[in-house]
Amino acid sequence: MMILHHGWRSSASRRVRLCLEEKGLAYEGHVVDMTAMEHHSPEYLKINPLGVIPRPLHESGTICEYLDETFPDPPLRPDAPYQRALMRNWIRHIDALIGNLIIFNWRHHLAKTASQWTDEELAEKLKNIPSKERQEAWIRAARKPYTEEERDAARGKLVVLLDKMEEALKPAGWLVSKTYSIADIAAAPFVKRIDEEIAPDEMTAKKHPRVHDWWTKLQARPAYQRANFGPFLTS
């Protein structure tokens, strides 16, 4: 049995859960309490994000492609090399936008807690955070919470993502070629947060009709239900 260490709200975890469910692979989920920063504890950094996957594979896009290469059925990558390249481009493009989601993370309760940390406590917490982008987000939460202008700019970039998706969905209703693929899986956690908290008004059938249909279709997949993007009734 595979063991998956994951956070319910984490975009990376949501991707891998969705990929596992599409593959019909059974796994034992170990929930990491991200609000308690368990995912930055030395214990967690020592284990694998996905038990069966050797430790160095920590990126969700790479993990999904690895799962598809290891368990080819049903395929989650198009056959043609060019389509596969487009799929990888999408994953990378979406990854590069993660900073715009981070700005919206835990905005209320985190800033309140973090602002009470002493400089020493803050420095101690930062030591365990590998990504510079996330370190910056914690410093900002603790000392100088993101402004409304910064949130607007981040929201704007996520809306540009919806615009690009709208264009890409034109030929066949999926991001790459005619098939549902890891590109769609990579986008799903971003769209979930855009739809739910960041820019729900952009997700209407009027504003982005193809994205709206894609999202409806994706959410109707049994794997999506099992991947449990929220609300988190189980845990």
- Contact with its own copies (CB under 8 A) among 1, 43, 54, 170: 54
- Binding status of residue 217 toward its own copies by CB under 8 A: no
- Binding status of residue 42 toward its own copies by CB under 8 A: no
Measure the CA–CA gap between 23 and 50, rounded to whole angstroms.
15
- Binding status of residue 66 toward its own copies by CB under 8 A: yes
- Contact with its own copies (CB under 8 A) among 24, 45, 85, 222: 85
**Residues 159-198: x where in contact with its own copies by CB under 8 A, - otherwise, as a string:** ----------------------------------------
Check: CB of residue 208 under 8 Å from CB of residue 169.
no
- Contact with its own copies (CB under 8 A) among 92, 143, 144, 178: 92
- Contact with its own copies (CB under 8 A) among 3, 25, 57, 98: 57
- Binding status of residue 59 toward its own copies by CB under 8 A: yes
- Binding status of residue 27 toward its own copies by CB under 8 A: no
Measure the CA–CA gap between 43 and 21, rounded to whole angstroms.
27
* Listed ranges 39-47, 55-63, 102-110, 226-234: which one lies at the site for its own copies (CB under 8 A): 55-63
Contact residues for 107 (Cβ-Cβ < 8 A; gap 6+): 141, 145, 146
Output 63 or 218, the one with its CB closest to its own copies. 63
Output 92 or 112, the one with its CB closest to its own copies. 92
Q: What are phi and psi of 168, to 5 degrees?
A: -70, -30
What's the Cα-to-Cα distance from 86 to each of 10, 93, 170, 213, rounded to whole Å?
Answer: 25, 10, 15, 21
- Binding status of residue 221 toward its own copies by CB under 8 A: no
Check: CB of residue 161 under 8 Å from CB of residue 170.
no
What's the Cα-to-Cα distance from 34 to each of 61, 78, 100, 179, rounded to whole Å?
Answer: 20, 34, 19, 34
Least distance between its own copies and beta carbon 188 (Å): 20
Contact residues for 182 (Cβ-Cβ < 8 A; gap 6+): 19, 61, 64, 65, 68, 76, 77, 87, 91
CB atoms inside a 10 Å sphere around CB 107:
14
Q: Which residues are near its own copies by CB under 8 A?
A: 54, 56-59, 62-63, 65-66, 69-70, 81-82, 84-86, 88-89, 92
